[in-house]
Amino acid sequence: MKEKHIQILSVVLTLVYGVCVAWLYWAAPKNLEEVSSKARHTIESATTKAKVVTKTYEVDRVKFDEGLKAFRNENFILARDLFERADKQKLDSRTQFYIAYSYYRQGWGRFSNNDELFQKALESVNRVTRLDENFKANDPGLKLSTPVELKNELEEGLRVTADDFNPFKFTRERK
C-alpha cells in the first residue's frame, strides 16, 4: 500500500474511532446491551436533526392520528406519549398545541386544578407561540382554539383568587 493511502486510511480510521470514543463518553451506556440501544437512538435523533436542517422534517402522521384518537377518548397520557413520539423535535405547532391541551384537560378539575400539569401545559403553549404566532386549531372539539386563549385559561387556573371560592364556579365546564 502506498504511503498516501495509509495516510488517508489513518485520517479516516482515527476520525471514526475518535467519534466512537467521544460518543461512548457522551451516551455513557451502562452495559453492552445499552450500547446498541443508545446507538440506535442517537442515529434516529441525528437523522431527525438532519431532516430539520434540510427542511424536510415532518411529524409522524400515523402516530399523530393515533394520538388524536387517544386524546378524543380522553386517554391523555397515551395521547401525549404518541404526540411526543410523532414530533420528536418539538417543531410542529399543531402537535405541541395538542400536547398543551392534553395537559390542560388532564389537569382540569371541577374543584381544583393540578398545578403541575397546568405548568407543563403553559410550557407547551409557550412553545406553540414561539413556533407559530398566528396558530389556530381547526378542531371543533377544542373550545380554546388559539394559544392565547389556552394560556389565559391556564394562568387563571394557576392563580388563587377569591373567585375560586365562588360556589357557582363548581358548575363551570371544561373547555
Partner 1 sequence: MDAKDIEREENDELPVIDGELLEVSAEDEIELGVDEERAVQEKVQTKAAIRQLKGKDKIEQNSKAYLQYLFLPFIFLTVALLGGLRIGIDGGEFLFFRPALICLVFAVLLMLLFFRAKLIVFDSWFSYEFSALRNMANGAVFVSLFAASTQIFNSLIPEQGLPFWVVGFCFFWTLWNNLFAQFETQRLLKSLGGLFGFAFFAKYLVLSNLVSAEQGSWLSRIWQDPAKEAVTYFLDLPRFSSATGYIQFFALVFFLIGLFFIKPKMEDRSAQN
> Which residues would be at the binding site for partner 1 (CB under 8 A)?
1-4, 6-11, 13-15, 17-18, 21, 24-25, 28-31
Contact 158, 113 (CB under 8 A): yes
Least separation in angstroms between CB 3 and partner 1: 5
Least separation in angstroms between CB 27 and partner 1: 8
Nearer to partner 1, 24 or 77 (CB): 24
CA contacts within 13 A on the Cβ side of 90 = 12
Least separation in angstroms between CB 23 and partner 1: 10
Least separation in angstroms between CB 16 and partner 1: 10
Least separation in angstroms between CB 28 and partner 1: 4
Q: Which three cell numbers stand for residue 111?
A: 374543584
Nearer to partner 1, 29 or 158 (CB): 29
Nearer to partner 1, 21 or 50 (CB): 21
Nearer to partner 1, 12 or 77 (CB): 12
Nearer to partner 1, 3 or 173 (CB): 3
User: Which backbone phi and psi does 133 adopt, to 5 degrees?
Assistant: -65, -30
Q: Which three cell numbers stand for residue 100?
A: 398543551
Least separation in angstroms between CB 42 and partner 1: 15
Nearer to partner 1, 9 or 52 (CB): 9
